Amino acid sequence: MFGRGTQIIVACVLYLMVYTPLFTEAQSAETVKDYSKWELPKAAKMRLGKGGINDMQFSPDGTQFAVGNDMGIWLYDVKTGKEVALFPGICESLAFSPDGRLLANGGFGKLRGQELHLWEITTRRKISSTSESRPATALRFSEDSKTLVSVDSWGATINRLDIQTGERDVTNLDGQPDSLGHIIEVYTFTHDRVAGGKRDGKIRLWDTTTGKKLITLSGHAVENQDPSLDIHVLALAFSPDGTRLASGSTDRTVRLWDTDTNNDAPITLQKHRGWTNVLAFSPDGKILASGGTDKTVLLWDAATSEMLETLTGHRSGIAALTFSPDGSTLASGSTDGTIRFWNTATGSPLSTHITGHTQWVKALTFFEDSLTLVSVAFNGTINFWDLKTSEKTAVQMEGDRDLLLGLAFSQDGTKLVSSGTKGDIFFAAGFGHSISTPMLDQIIRITDVGSGRELTQTNGDGRILAFSPDGKTVAISNGVSIRLWDTETGKTLDISHIDLTTETDVSFDDTSAALVFSPDGKKLVNGTWGGDVHLWNSETGEALTTFFRAEPQKGQHGRDSIRTLAFSSDGAMLAVGSDTHIRIRLLEGERQIGFKNVPGQTETLAFSPDTTVLAIGRRKGGIELWDITTGDKLITLEGHTGSVETLVFSPDGKTLVSTGQDGTILVWDWDQSLKGSPEIR
């Protein structure tokens, strides 16, 4: 950056060159304390949480640290751990140029096309942006920083972008099919080879110049004796000189391959107790770091295969690993939302750490008033958010569960009912989805939100849970039946729309997909995967009525699955979201309202406080607002890059809050949301 004296001397000649970076940095300095307002959609007041962790990297000089996720790239100061900038755009992979001038990110865009962005770090200016049909799983710059090389996520091509001219060169990978789901595939490359790991446990290697297939390594696959078990390759890393390849998979091993000899007989490292899903070599190639779903990081001597250190402290699985340029520091990012830094010589933790990168916000509500939010993440971390200051206070639920499946807050936000699992959970970069083989915890727990303390529990399994408005009763569905649990007396009442005494083979279409109590607590509604909606008396368990039942249309294999349910505040209307429709049922008079040209993939619904607007959360991240009287769409609020999990209005009706699988919470000004199409600031 120019000093003041130099600025005066060159001001007349370089005004435009100097002014832009100065203005940008001044802007950044003003907002650095309140990063919750960076890159907001127009109608949003703040963003709480920073999203998960897809990729991480130190800058070439080691002073800055980049974290890529479904929001973009967060840039941090390494010494302080403070936020420096946010470069927007879904980031599945990132790379610094060797000269430290540029930062690249690649990932899926809104329509699942490729977004590849190039940023000038000093000015925070986007210098290039391209859209193609496929996203980049792996990125790296040439040594002279003039070319950006990427492998697309479907593994079909190697792409080279000339930074100065914008010209692109594409090399097809020999024999690589174009239709494999990218969620469970991983790629890495060095100067002369590309490696790709597949769902069959095998690794393919190609020549980067010609795209010719060199060899298939089957080490992970040969031990898969049970054909019903999939051995996914989850992690790959080349040594800096390209002579060795490390691989990790769901078989809980790390394999070290000699790429000079192409020998299909690797050295096997077996110390992880969970899936090995992330790997990194130190810059000198002497240390290999491996991270797993067992929440640990292991350091290995790459030459002798001896385990050097076990690094513990994360509460959830490891999502990313990267070494500092001098190799003295290892950074580990976890799905627990933290990034920790370690001394590689001693294995001891450093004082600097980064927080706030929650992988998946499962649910939220307002806590007693309109000024405080309470959210819960997939791993049981409860966060309180002050909407005046955006400050966060964390509380950890009692018990140790890797993934909370069913969740529901009481109406006042003071209690939480949950069901969970124990087992290996792997989050796929860029999607917010997970691959897992969990063991279902056969206990339903009630937790005091303020303290995280368990209040009571009952036996049973249920991924679908709902609290009654008075917070005394919980509805629990295991798919086939519904249990009403009085949490004060412990008494239960079982109800089912299926006659289990005569029906031995229950169809999937008959199983429950959603539950909701009416505002007065007297009715309970459940929707099924087959498209039926059942209404019950919640006090007696009496079946009241069934509606929206429909047989499959010609040419379709199944019926219209119910995805979500919501009552209006007065209980007069029930909104039902299915795979293909959004409908509102007026419970008095049994009249229905249908919306026009509503696409499917609805995840959540909420009535506005005055019951004039229905908010619809989509699987692809948008929030649509629809006029209940006319059935017309008013506006789409864009901001989430993952499926919208929750929509909640504040008690005073002035704020709409949404959560997504992108790991963020967006706080919307309700009046502003209705005024026009949102634009990025």
Residue 4: pLDDT above 60?
A: no
Chain centroid to CA 169: 32
Instruction: Look up residue 118 and give its two tokens.
Output: 């190039």
Q: How far apart are CA 41 and CA 58, in angstroms?
A: 29
Residue 132: pLDDT above 60?
A: no
Q: What is the pLDDT of residue 631?
A: 85
- Mean per-residue pLDDT for 454-469? 91
Residues 284 and 330 sit within 8 Å (Cβ to Cβ): no
- Mean per-residue pLDDT for 649-657? 95
**The sheet that has 213-217: what strands, in order across it?**
186-189, 193-197, 203-207, 213-217
Residue 318: pLDDT above 70?
A: yes
Residue from 274, 253, 228 nearest 402 by CA: 274
Residues 423 and 442 sit within 8 Å (Cβ to Cβ): no
Average pLDDT, the chain: 84
Q: How far apart are CA 570 and CA 518, in angstroms?
A: 9
pTM of the model: 0.88
Helix/strand/coil for 75: strand
Residue from 108, 76, 111, 104 nearest 92 by CA: 108
Flag the least confident range among 219-228, 600-609, 626-635.
219-228
- Mean per-residue pLDDT for 581-591? 81
- Mean per-residue pLDDT for 552-576? 80
Q: What is the pLDDT of residue 59?
A: 98
Q: What is the pLDDT of residue 19?
A: 32
Q: What is the pLDDT of residue 328?
A: 97
Fold of the domain spanning 54-172: Methylamine Dehydrogenase; Chain H (2.130.10)
Residue 171: pLDDT above 60?
A: yes
Residues counted in the chain = 681
Where does the pLDDT of residue 438 fall: very low under 50, low under 70, confident under 90, or very high at 90 and above? low
Where does the pLDDT of residue 133 fall: very low under 50, low under 70, confident under 90, or very high at 90 and above? very low
DSSP string, 223-250: T---TTS---EEEEEE-TTSSEEEEEET
Return residue ranges of the chain for CATH 2.130.10.10.
Answer: 54-172
**Through-space distance between the first and last CA atoms of the chain, rounded to whole angstroms:** 26
Flag the least confident range among 387-391, 507-511, 549-553.
549-553
- Mean per-residue pLDDT for 477-494? 92
Q: How far apart are CA 307 and CA 292, in angstroms?
A: 15
Residues 330 and 306 sit within 8 Å (Cβ to Cβ): no
Where does the pLDDT of residue 9 fall: very low under 50, low under 70, confident under 90, or very high at 90 and above? very low
* 3-class SS shares of the chain: helix, strand, coil, % to 5: 5, 45, 45
Where does the pLDDT of residue 200 fall: very low under 50, low under 70, confident under 90, or very high at 90 and above? confident
Q: What is the pLDDT of residue 14?
A: 31
Instruction: Look up residue 157 and give its two tokens.
Output: 């091509």
Flag the least confident range among 215-229, 359-373, 461-475.
215-229
Q: What is the pLDDT of residue 1?
A: 38
DSSP state of 173: P
Where does the pLDDT of residue 347 fall: very low under 50, low under 70, confident under 90, or very high at 90 and above? very high
Residue 28: pLDDT above 50?
A: no
- Mean per-residue pLDDT for 94-99? 96
- Mean per-residue pLDDT for 314-331? 96
Residues 625 and 604 sit within 8 Å (Cβ to Cβ): no
Residue 488: pLDDT above 90?
A: yes
Q: What is the pLDDT of residue 265?
A: 81
Most confident of 131-135, 205-209, 556-560: 205-209
Q: How far apart are CA 367 and CA 448, in angstroms?
A: 12
Helix/strand/coil for 27: helix
Q: How far apart are CA 618 and CA 609, in angstroms?
A: 20
Q: How far apart are CA 417 and CA 454, in angstroms?
A: 10
Flag the least confident range among 40-49, 60-69, 440-449, 664-673.
440-449
- % residues pLDDT > 90 (the chain): 57
Residues 476 and 462 sit within 8 Å (Cβ to Cβ): yes
Does 97 or 633 have the greater pLDDT score?
A: 97
